[in-house]
């Protein structure tokens, strides 16, 4: 009788806790740091497997998943009926012991467990709701890393299998191996990207060099790819790759940087061959980077001045530019120019002070004082 009563109370508690979290939104209903034995008991009472979000208070991707992904209705609809879901801080309570038990070494890590607490699969890192559903489907269908590894070692090499295997390796932090296999699979398959979503997804994950044949092909045929896939996602990809590689053409020798001018000019030329989302912004940032590596702060200031004439510049950017230039070796003409920027913007803020810009009054006043220190 006592055992039955205890079972009923635990079941009611599980239901009440889940309902409490579900009322906070339409997303995933999580139990918040339940005792481990209580979680197992609730999963067994519900006859469902367990999904554990292993997080820490300082983890940025963990917070992103909570605020942007787990709040989505489609993910809640998918997970709530299939799992007992729990969030457990790996640095508090039973967390450290569970982290050791399940080899949790990065965050967020998501554990897929049987209702008895046996590990079925795990995945590491933040992702979109659709990607989370895909990785969960692989677990529920038995396509765990161990199973896929066995098939790979047995000679399975079909495209669909290889895409699943590579993504699963990546989710288990085996990224070097995943990268190597992805590059091998993608080689020479430029035209297949339009027809194969799996290959296209691998392109997004692993092609990060602007001169790679696949990247050049996608950029050259971007209108076709935008018609087939998410156009904003592709714009963001092109932007990220082109923003990241200007520094590749600088090599430090002692206290100075030597510039591969031929390579850098080729880089700029290739960048402008086809339309590029925020291309002017990327070019501006790269030219500033060149001037910074050259430690030519007068040139840096002229580039900034040209940008200020052509477009609106946020206070954050203007303050950053002026403070960096002011700390460099510059001519009196350059100092006069950047002083003019700051005085003009300070006057504008004083005439139209808002909650967003008021703090820059003090920042700009401090900059002006540093530009013209009292003797």
Tell me the catalytic residues: 59, 62
Interstrand relation of 50-55 and 109-113 (parallel, antiparallel or unpaired): antiparallel
Which residue reads 């469902």 in tokens? 48
* Residue 121, SS3 per DSSP: strand
Distance separating alpha carbons of residues 342 and 315, to the nearest angstrom: 10
Q: What is the DSSP string of 72-113?
A: -HHHHHHHHTT-EEEEEETTSTTHHHHHHHTT--SSSEEEEE
Expressed in percent and rounded to 5, the helix, strand and coil fractions of the chain are 60, 10, 30
With contact defined as beta carbons under 8 Å apart, do 102 and 122 qualify?
yes
Q: Taking the CB of residue 248, how many other CB atoms lie within 10 A of it?
A: 13
* Residue 24, SS3 per DSSP: coil
Q: What is residue 92's DSSP assignment? A: S
Distances (CA, A) of 5 to 10, 12, 31, 41: 9, 11, 22, 14
Q: Taking the CB of residue 5, how many other CB atoms lie within 10 A of it?
A: 9
* Residue 251, SS3 per DSSP: strand
* Residue 27, SS3 per DSSP: coil
Interstrand relation of 50-55 and 84-89 (parallel, antiparallel or unpaired): parallel
CA angle 296, 255, 319 (to 5 degrees): 40
- Partnered with residue 32 across adjacent β-strands are 87
Longest alpha-carbon distance in the chain: 90
With contact defined as beta carbons under 8 Å apart, do 245 and 209 qualify?
yes
Name the residue among 83, 125, 131 with its Cα closest to residue 107. 125
| Structure tokens that stand for 121 in this block | 């699969």
Distance of CA 58 to the CA centre of its chain: 16
CB neighbour list of residue 19: distance below 8 Å, 6 or more residues apart: 29
């Amino acid at each position: 009788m006592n055992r039955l009563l205890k079972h009923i109370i635990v079941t009611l508690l599980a239901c009440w806790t889940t309902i409490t979290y579900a009322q906070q939104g339409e997303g995933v209903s999580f139990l918040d740091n339940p005792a481990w034995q209580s979680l197992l008991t609730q999963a067994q009472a519900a006859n469902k497997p367990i999904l554990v979000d292993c997080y820490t208070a300082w983890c940025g991707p963990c917070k992103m998943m909570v605020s942007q992904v787990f709040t989505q209705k489609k993910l809640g609809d998918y997970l709530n009926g299939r799992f007992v879901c729990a969030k457990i801080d790996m640095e508090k309570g039973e967390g450290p012991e569970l982290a050791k038990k399940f080899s949790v070494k990065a965050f967020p890590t998501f554990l897929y467990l049987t209702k008895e607490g046996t590990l079925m699969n795990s995945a590491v890192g933040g992702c979109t709701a659709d990607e989370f559903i895909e990785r969960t489907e692989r677990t529920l269908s038995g396509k765990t890393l161990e199973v896929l590894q066995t098939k790979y070692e047995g000679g399975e090499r079909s495209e669909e299998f290889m895409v699943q295997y590579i993504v699963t390796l990546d989710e288990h932090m085996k990224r070097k191996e995943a990268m190597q296999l992805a590059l091998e699979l993608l080689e020479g398959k430029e035209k297949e990207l339009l027809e194969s979503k799996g290959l296209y997804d691998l392109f997004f994950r692993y092609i990060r060099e602007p001169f790679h044949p696949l990247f050049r092909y996608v950029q050259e045929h971007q209108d076709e790819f935008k018609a087939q896939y998410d156009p904003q996602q592709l714009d963001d990809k092109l932007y990220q790759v082109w923003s990241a590689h200007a520094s590749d053409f600088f090599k430090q020798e002692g206290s100075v940087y030597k510039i591969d001018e031929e390579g850098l000019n080729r880089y700029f030329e290739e960048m402008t061959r086809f339309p590029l989302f925020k291309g002017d912004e990327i070019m501006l940032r790269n030219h500033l980077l060149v001037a910074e590596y050259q430690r030519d702060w007068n040139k840096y200031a002229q580039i900034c001045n040209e940008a200020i004439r052509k477009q609106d510049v946020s206070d954050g950017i203007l303050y950053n530019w002026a403070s960096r230039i002011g700390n460099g070796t510059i001519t009196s003409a350059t100092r006069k120019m950047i002083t003019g920027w700051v005085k003009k913007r300070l006057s504008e803020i004083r005439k139209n002070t808002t909650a967003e810009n008021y703090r820059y009054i003090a920042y700009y006043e401090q900059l002006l004082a540093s530009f013209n220190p009292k003797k």
